[in-house]
Structure 1
Amino acid sequence: MARVRAALYLDFDNVFSGLIKQDPDVAIRFAKEPAAWLARLTASLTVDGPRRWLVVRCYMNPGGWVPNPDPEAGQPRLYYSQFRPFFVNAGFEVIDCPRLTHTKNAADIRMVVDAVDALADPVVYEEFVIASGDSDMTPLLVRLRRSDRRTTIVSPSDAAEAFVAVADRLITSQELLELVQGEPVETDEEPPEGSSGAEVAETPVSYEQFRDLVRWRYDAATAPLNLASLAHDLRRQLGPSVDETNWFGFGGFVRGLESLGLAHAKFSNHFVWDESRHDPPESSGGSGPAPEPVGRLSALLSLPRLPKEMWPAVYRALADYAAEHHFNLTEATRWARDRLAEQGVDVSRASIAFVTRGTAFGGAPLYRQPPPVAEEIATAFADNVLNRAEAASIALTDEEAAEVRAWLGADSSGTA
């Protein structure tokens, strides 16, 4: 397969400072082992095929620093300059970008100038990988798209919707950390439009097992089957092929079930049942549709569209993980998803990762000691959502902000 000629522009200050708020151990590994994750990125999370890196540049403020997350290290600050040799040894061109003002360095300007210059290069760069969560890069992505170049964003946080909308691919902080750790990257992506799903399933034997197990459970069921519990059981029985193929190419568990053509099957948000044999599941007494301000934030900030009663369960699962484990972001989202599934609560890893990031940026990171309890996680997450809304100029009245907090299960006394 022909490799895609690619250029990587990394805003180190932006990406590293974003990652270290979420998972300090893996963020430092990102800074010390760039050769390893760059090699994995060559063939992972691609747009049109594996990449051939023609340009790899790291833009770094040599005087920049973040507070050391290890209070016992005896070094209160982690200076970015200490990571510079690792990038040089990995073949990066390291571009020093000292501060121009009290709060701004020149990295984003240099990245834009270099990328636009590359458009005029005799060598055609087919894909530009922009590693930055700065929405100021949006005009650059628009310019690259106008020149018919593929673009991939590597974002350390929840990037602005306009920033994401003009890119061909978004690599989230969780996916980046999975790359850094050498783990299989799990995504919640939909299959390509027009794909039947079965066309991209690479393990037909496992798909046959999936079909047989589901049909056996479905035929033997005497009552509606809880989708979250069923998905959890199948993951345990079928192993990693479930996540490696994203439910055998169908892009989600329910789509995989629908492909089986189960007789008389009816689906709701949480159950599947045989309408010829089972009574419909009783109403769970759910919260009903989200209030308008919550719907607005879901549309503009990609806030997960979870029912009101699910939010506290997510916070409790994350609090339980933090209390029982040494924190690792990718393990935390996987563990919490499986714990919730055991309780019959179906929440994707992407939604749990969204909460985990929001909690960290809201001031209660799960790696903190002592670890935050569920109530602190709820308040920090709601604070972050409302702070992001304000930064995005989404106007909310005090009453609407209170509605959002109530829906998210946070104490209304929080400070946004």
Structure 2
Amino acid sequence: MKYVRTALYLDFDNVFTGLFRLDPAAAIQFASEPGVWLHRLSTTLSGHSTRRWLVLRCYLNPSGWVGHRDAEGEPARLYFSRFRPSFVRAGFEVIDCPRYNATKNGADIRIVVDAVDALSADTVYEEFVIASGDSDMTPLLQRLRRSDRRTMIVSPADTAEAFSSIADLILDSQQLLALVQGEPVDVDDEADAAVAAEFGDTPEDVEPVDQDQAYEAFRTRVVAEYEKATAPLVMATLAHELRAELGAAISATNWFGYGAFARAVGSLKLPDLQMSQHQLWDETRHSPPEITAPLVPRIELPDPVERLAALINLPRLPREWWQPIYHTLSEYVHSHTFNLTQCTSWSRDRLREQGLAVNRNTVAFIARGSTFGGCPLYTQPPPSADEIGSAFVNNVLNRTDTESFTEEELTAVRTWLGAHPEDEPDPEPELPT
């Protein structure tokens, strides 16, 4: 088994507060059980290798806190220092970073200094994992790239494009929540989702298998099925059969470090391979399968919406799709105990029942926007569709330089996204990026 020498630097305040705004329960799980998600991260998006954590540092403001409700439902402060022992037990070196002023605790500077120092250490660190959504880290990533080191960003919020474009790998908030909660990290892997829905979890009595042997067994089985297939193979069925055969080797390594069945198959470099969301086939021997899932129509966006899509990666959706998304999110929070990972999956499935090809990343983008726009989905009483939509649009506009848009263009954006100026709530300050 190949190991990658890795250093991880965690800006606790940035990551925890970002997750807390999205899903308080999941954020507390992240801070209370770091050893669990750290173990999963060692094989997540790592290819056919495992990360060996040579440096684990957590930068934490011991007097930092977030507003929370205690067991009696009364407002209280949840201090970050409560989680310090959890990180110590998980093997982290916890570095106190008290605030220098009202807004900064100096964690970002400490991370930069420590990471640059690590470049000149006797040990050669092959990968640097920076757990922070702070775009002030951009020069650090540029420095690491110049030294030919692989980098991963673990971010609790939407990151600036200049920041994310430099990193080799990005674990966004939705994937981080999935990692913490023990779910597949590839949030839009349709084959894995179909396996879970149709067949359930892996049987508990399957004996663990050595990872290298399991990968070779995986290769042998997939190649054999691919070569003898007379028609496109259903990925969910093949993935289920492989889970039953290889057992814990797949679950423990999250598909051998590739994070999803489809990417693990892609690593085999099968000749003339083509894949859709549900099937794989040999383009020289098989006819492409018929597309049964709804597709996002190609549309012409109004100019101001097009500019926003380019600036902040706004989903390119038809105008008439936005309101159903807000209504579906509202339906979820009115009928479920909130869990963001479940929310995105449930909402995607609900929307596809309506013929709208919306993926989980799009749902997560809108859920985050609503939260950062002043309307967290977990609030009580649950928010309405209009409140969710208005908060989302408010956040979209706050993330852009509105001075470059005329009032008519801003009105066009609000109208396209299905919200109106008079409905906008007062936003909470957006997390720094």
Q: Which residue identity lines up with residue 287 of structure 2 in the other structure?
A: G
Classify 1:31/1:266 alpha carbon distance in 2 versus 1 (closer, same or farther; 3 Å).
closer
Offset at residue 45 of structure 1 (A): 2.1
Offset at residue 41 of structure 1 (A): 0.3
Deviations 1:120-176 (A, max 9, x none): 001000000000000000000000000000000000000111110000011011111
Classify 1:308/1:28 alpha carbon distance in 2 versus 1 (closer, same or farther; 3 Å).
same
* Aligned counterpart, 1:372: 383
Offset at residue 309 of structure 1 (A): 1.3
Q: Distance in 1 between matches of 2:347 and 2:73?
A: 30
Alignment of 1:21-36 (within 5 A): 21-36=21-36
Classify 1:314/1:338 alpha carbon distance in 2 versus 1 (closer, same or farther; 3 Å).
same
* 1:404 counterpart = 2:413: yes
Counterpart of 2:261 (choices 235, 238, 245) is: 245
Q: Distance in 1 between matches of 2:347 and 2:147?
A: 42
Q: Distance in 2 between matches of 1:88 and 1:368?
A: 32
Identity of aligned residues (%): 52
The normalised TM-score by structure 1 is: 0.80
Classify 1:135/1:125 alpha carbon distance in 2 versus 1 (closer, same or farther; 3 Å).
same
Q: Distance in 1 between matches of 2:16 and 2:237?
A: 34
Q: Distance in 2 between matches of 1:351 and 1:201?
A: 34
Counterpart of 1:349 (choices 349, 357, 360) is: 360
Contact 1:246 1:252 in 2 (8 A): no
Contact 2:315 2:362 in 1 (8 A): yes
Q: Distance in 1 between matches of 2:182 and 2:53?
A: 19
* Aligned counterpart, 1:261: 287
Deviations 1:335-364 (A, max 9, x none): 011111111111111111111111111111
* 1:114 counterpart = 2:114: yes
Partner SS state of residue 315, structure 1 = helix
Classify 1:328/1:203 alpha carbon distance in 2 versus 1 (closer, same or farther; 3 Å).
farther
Contact 1:202 1:245 in 2 (8 A): no
- Out of 199-208 and 96-105, give the one that drifted further: 199-208
Q: Which residue identity lines up with residue 395 of structure 1 in the other structure?
A: S
* 1:329 counterpart = 2:340: yes
Alignment of 1:48-67 (within 5 A): 49-67=49-67
* Aligned counterpart, 1:339: 350
* Aligned counterpart, 2:138: 138
Classify 1:158/1:332 alpha carbon distance in 2 versus 1 (closer, same or farther; 3 Å).
same
Offset at residue 330 of structure 1 (A): 0.7
Cα-Cα RMSD? 3.4
Offset at residue 188 of structure 1 (A): 4.7
Partner SS state of residue 326, structure 1 = coil
Q: Distance in 2 between matches of 1:210 and 1:372?
A: 47
Q: Distance in 2 between matches of 1:200 and 1:316?
A: 47
Gap runs ≥5 in structure 1: 190-198, 214-233, 272-285
- Out of 64-73 and 316-325, give the one that drifted further: 64-73
Contact 2:129 2:153 in 1 (8 A): yes
Alignment of 1:122-201 (within 5 A): 122-188=122-188
Counting matched residue pairs gives 372
Gap runs ≥5 in structure 2: 190-218, 244-254, 267-273, 428-433
* Aligned counterpart, 2:404: 395
Partner SS state of residue 389, structure 1 = coil
Contact 2:233 2:279 in 1 (8 A): no
Contact 1:187 1:246 in 2 (8 A): no
* Aligned counterpart, 1:219: none
- Out of 244-253 and 98-107, give the one that drifted further: 244-253
Q: Which residue identity lines up with residue 270 of structure 1 in the other structure?
A: L
